[in-house]
Structure formats: structure tokens, C-alpha cells
A and B are shown apart, each in its own frame.
Chain A
């Protein structure tokens, strides 16, 4: 998706937003012969654009409003290896938002076989680029963000959301 959707279209998004299918680049493969952990975020970050453009954070947003978005926090779970030649597709759902933050969850799947390779939970901040500080969304954008949050609020909470990192309790005792 390259253009902003109407508010009505955002309100009736039927499920997690399917991003376009992406291919693995050869230089992203590491000594283990699989997609290196770092480059998952290249794909996941690029895919977020497929959600942000329909909301209104397209290429013109920075120019016309002098605002942008920046990632504050990102938690990736690597569930299954991806190899060169595997087509991948990211699905994104908005978990919540306030006046200046968005909380969203990405699932990266094998594009044709459907299995889950990775999840990524993120907080993104809205930034006023004239002072490079966090700032509230403009009202029209806030309404559009809210429309997506509400459309996605009927979906089941994704498995893995809200996790922190730690050894299993059993291991910590040993």
C-alpha cells in the first residue's frame, strides 16, 4: 500500500495489515547460513512503512508537517530460521496508542508456507523534527491512528506480546 486510506477504510481493516512480500538479500546471511538476527529488523522496519503510509505517515509527511516517527523500543523473538530464497511477509496489528506513541506487533511469516518465523513488539514515537522531540500527533492523524487501534482491538491478543527476557524459572534455580 503506497497511499493513505480513508478514515472509513481504516475503521474497517479486517485483520492485521498484510505488508508486501519481501525477499532476503544475500549479504544478510551469516556464518550460520541463515538470515542474521540484525537484518530481521531491516525487513520489519521497512514493513512498518506499509502500515504507516495508509495511516498518513507517508513520504510527504516529513516534508509537509516537519514531523516523523522514531522507534523507542523493539522486542524481537526469533522463532524459526529463515534462509536465502525464503519469501517473507509481515503482518502488523496496532495494540494501542496514546497522544504521541504507537504500540504495535509484527508477525513475520514465510510468505507461501505461512509458518511464523519471528515476532516483533514495538513502541514508536511521534517526533516534531524542528526540535527533534516527542510531540502529539496532529488531530487528523490521531483520529486515524485511533481508527486502526479500534479496528484491531477486536482481534485476539497475539501470543508473545508483553514478554520480557529471562531464563525459565526452573533454570534460574539450577
Chain B
């Protein structure tokens, strides 16, 4: 990402979710089912959300400059439609909520030209002080930028699939032997 961060006012003036760059599937991410293997969705999602973090001020230089970083605490992926080699992919990211040291985000992975959703990923990310490798509050300027984006995204409809747990359908559970 560029060294020129959008200003706080520019962040506040956004009107939609954060749109990441288009990504291509690599041949060795395809498995014996002939589609993108479940594990490599997270490679695409993780690389994509780095673009959002960069805009928030936690880009490649953040670790060096401030000795802070982010680590994922939890990730919940729903695989909704297969993608294959050659399908261009694009992630749309939402900041759902944040507190002083955590960021709750949601990603939609879409076919970049046809628009359909292939997968969603809900994440909890922690801000880490790399001196002690422990969770620590965001610096105040970063917290302000996160709040600006969270406020913009709070006005959008909540993405479908948010807040789910993993379970068999109730009907199926009742019928299970």
C-alpha cells in the first residue's frame, strides 16, 4: 500500500465497506477436489485485510516504527460457493466494532467480476505490544482512525452471516442417532 495514508477526514467521508485489491488464485492452492482448498481462503482473506489495516495506520512500517502489531484471535469462515483456478477474487471488509485493543471485522470474498459471494470470514484481531508480545491498547491516533471507519461501517446494513456459531441444523440434531 502507499505511504500516503488517507486523512482522518477522508476516512470519515467514506460511504461503503472497504474494498481490497483483486487477487488471483495460485495453482498450488487447488486441492484434489479441483477447487480452492479451504485453508487458502485464509491466505486470500489475511492478505486482503492487511490492506484495511494499512489504511488504519498499521501497515508494513507499523511494526518497525512503533513496535506494535496485530494478531488474529479468532476466525470463522463460511464456505458458500466453490472457486476455481482463474477465478479473480476480491474481498470487501467491514469494521463491525472495536474496543481499546480489539478489532471485530467481517470479510466477504467475492468473484471479482461476477460479484457472487464465495465465502465470508468473521474475525477478532488483537493489538499487540511486540516488546512484551502481549495485548495492548491501540495508540490514540490509531484508535481514532479505527473509530472513524467503524462509524462509517455502522451505517451500513449488517452483513449476512454475522455472529454465527458452528452447529448442525436443529432439525438434524434432533434426528441424529
Contacts and interface: CB of A to CB of B under 8 A. Distances in A.
Given A44-B39, A98-B172, 5 more contacts: A32-B130, A45-B39, A75-B166, A78-B73, A129-B33
A108 to B, nearest CB: 13
Nearest to A30: B46
Interface residues of A, number: 48
Contacts of A77: 73-74
A144 to B, nearest CB: 13
B33 A98 contact: no
16 contacts: A31-B63, A32-B71, A34-B71, A37-B42, A38-B46, A42-B39, A42-B40, A68-B33, A71-B38, A72-B79, A74-B38, A75-B77, A77-B74, A96-B176, A164-B164, A166-B163
Contacts, number: 135
Contact of A103 (B46, B76, B97, B167): B167
A103 B99 contact: no
Interface of A: 31-32, 34, 36-42, 44-45, 62, 68, 70-78, 81, 96-99, 101, 103, 121-123, 127, 129, 132, 146, 149, 162-168, 171-172, 174
B74 A38 contact: no
A37 B75 contact: yes
Contact of B166 (A40, A68, A121): A121
A132 B83 CA distance: 13
B124 interface: yes
B166 A123 contact: yes
Contacts of A73: 76-79, 164, 166
A76 B166 contact: no
B107 interface: no
Contact of B69 (A32, A168, A171): A32
B155 interface: no
- Minimum-distance CB pairs A-B, first 3: A41-B39, A98-B172, A38-B42
